[in-house]
């Protein structure tokens, strides 16, 4: 039995930052106390941050079918270097994660290549087409399936979403929804509808395309009583709708992404397609509503929507380039630098939204707690670094944050007790 002692850490424990020591024995956390004096290996953290590993509920690993963008190996490694211990991949692969055979093939690939704990969502509808439900019972029985999502597409039919929620409830699973009403979208829509889109003669994406579906779904979830989670919230109206819903329904939740919390459409430089994602960067009012939503405990999860694309795919005009940016590796550092350090969101809130809260949403046992698996991350909050193409672990480099300076460098990653010094 190997004992490793992390001493003198600034530890995120029971929702608060505390000066503590943490002892790991093999895979498990065996002791948390103000002073511990045992261990075969002692690592003096000298006040560095020790947190439960992060959990990302929204990642596109692109494998199978789009390995030129990302693979399970590169995508999970990128997440590892961001301090993540668990991620959930979206179902929009080729073939789509809509049947047991494809899901089992993915599980085998994960077993072989993943650097951290990796789950997937099953699709809600066959091939994400919104026409027929998948076999909820069969797919939910696969251990790797964390829930059901058609992310990349909104489920357009109210009847179909109602049936999906009832099916998810029957197997005690969760619907993780991409809220996008296609009837609100114009052909070629690529950025937020606002001054920026008008000034640059671009087709805009209005707020209603998101919040109409969110409001529809929240009402359905209230009536059906199923677990329901909103992906990548970007509008003030969606935040308001979720706030109202959560007052009476604890089974609904929602996430925000770092880019929607840091950038607005006014930050888009030179029509750079690395600022193009779905939902788009919104207005200052929307960003402020999201921050308020996190601080009020309305939006309880921070996810990345890590969406890699090959460089040549993104080098098209912003109106033609695919939606999506990478996000796993630098999510925490960006949040810390541009929100925590500026006094906009407390560090404890960010840590909860990136670790404990998302684990609760999908029902996995994960926390910095005695008897739990040691899935941890250590950051030096005082160490500044530059995000460069060369330092990115993902296969793709499509991010608006290239050449951005950040504080909060990862120093140690712990997965089931196995320690990697970064």
Alpha carbon of 394 to those of 302, 330, 387, 390: distances in Å?
20, 11, 12, 10
Residue 127 has phi, psi (to 5 degrees) of 55, 25
Query: What CA–CA distances, in Å, run from 339 to 48, 295, 372, 407?
Result: 19, 11, 30, 11
Three-state SS sequence of 114-180: CCCEEEEEECCEHHHCCCCECCHHHHHCCCCEEEECCCCCCCCCHHHHHHHHHHHHHCCCEEEECCC
Radius of gyration of the chain from its Cα atoms, rounded to whole angstroms: 21
Asked if 20 contacts 34 with a C-beta cutoff of 8 angstroms, the reply is yes
Residue 393 CA to residue 197 CA, distance in Å, equals 33
Please give the Cα distance from 419 to 343 (Å, whole number).
32
Contact 264, 281 (CB under 8 A): yes
Distance CA 323, CA 94 (A): 18
Residue 108 CA: distances (Å) to CA of 104, 112, 238 = 6, 6, 37
Instruction: Provide the annotated active-site residues.
Output: 305
Token look-up 């009536």 returns 223
Angle formed by the axes of helices 347-354 and 284-295, nearest 10°: 90
Nearest partner of 218 among 192, 197, 249, judged by Cα: 249
Q: Which residues, 6 or more positions from 325, have their beta carbon under 8 angstroms from its beta carbon?
A: 259, 274, 275, 276, 277, 305, 307, 398, 399, 400
């Amino acid at each position: 039995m190997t004992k490793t002692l992390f001493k003198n850490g600034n530890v995120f424990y029971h929702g608060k930052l505390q000066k503590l020591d943490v002892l790991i024995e093999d895979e498990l956390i065996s002791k948390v106390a103000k002073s511990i004096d045992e261990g075969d290996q002692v690592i003096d953290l000298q006040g560095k941050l020790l947190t439960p590993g992060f959990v990302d509920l929204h990642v596109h690993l692109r494998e199978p079918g789009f390995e030129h963008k990302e693979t399970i190996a590169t995508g999970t490694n990128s997440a590892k270097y961001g301090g993540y211990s668990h991620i959930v991949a979206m179902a929009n692969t080729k073939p789509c994660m809509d049947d047991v055979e494809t899901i089992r093939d993915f599980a085998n690939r994960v077993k072989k290549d993943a650097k951290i704990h990796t789950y997937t969502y099953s699709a809600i509808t066959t091939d994400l087409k919104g026409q027929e439900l998948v076999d909820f019972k069969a797919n939910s029985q696969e251990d790797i399936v964390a829930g059901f999502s058609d992310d990349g597409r909104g489920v357009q039919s109210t009847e179909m979403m109602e049936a999906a929620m009832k099916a998810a409830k029957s197997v005690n699973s969760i619907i993780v929804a991409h809220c996008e009403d296609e009837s609100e979208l114009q052909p070629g829509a690529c950025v937020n509808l606002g001054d920026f889109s008008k000034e640059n003669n671009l087709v805009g994406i209005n707020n209603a395309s998101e919040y109409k579906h969110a409001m529809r779904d929240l009402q359905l979830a209230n009536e059906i009583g199923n677990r329901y989670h909103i992906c990548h919230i970007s509008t003030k109206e969606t935040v308001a709708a979720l706030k109202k819903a959560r007052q009476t329904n604890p089974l609904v939740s929602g996430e925000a992404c770092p880019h929607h919390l840091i950038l607005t459409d006014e930050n888009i430089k030179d029509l750079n397609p690395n600022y193009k994602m779905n939902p788009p960067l919104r207005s200052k009012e929307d960003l402020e509503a999201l921050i308020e939503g996190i601080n009020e405990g309305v939006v309880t999860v921070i996810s990345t929507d890590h969406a890699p694309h090959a460089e040549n795919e993104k080098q098209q005009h912003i109106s033609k380039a695919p939606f999506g940016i990478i996000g796993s590796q630098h999510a925490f550092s960006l949040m810390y630098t541009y929100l925590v350090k500026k006094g906009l969101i407390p560090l404890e809130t960010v840590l909860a939204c990136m670790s404990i809260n998302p684990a609760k949403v999908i029902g996995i046992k994960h926390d910095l707690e005695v008897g739990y698996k040691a899935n941890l991350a250590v950051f030096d909050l005082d160490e500044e670094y530059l995000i460069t193409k060369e330092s990115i672990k993902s296969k793709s480099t499509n991010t608006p944050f290239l050449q951005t300076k950040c504080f909060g460098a990862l120093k140690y990653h712990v997965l089931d007790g196995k320690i990697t010094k970064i």
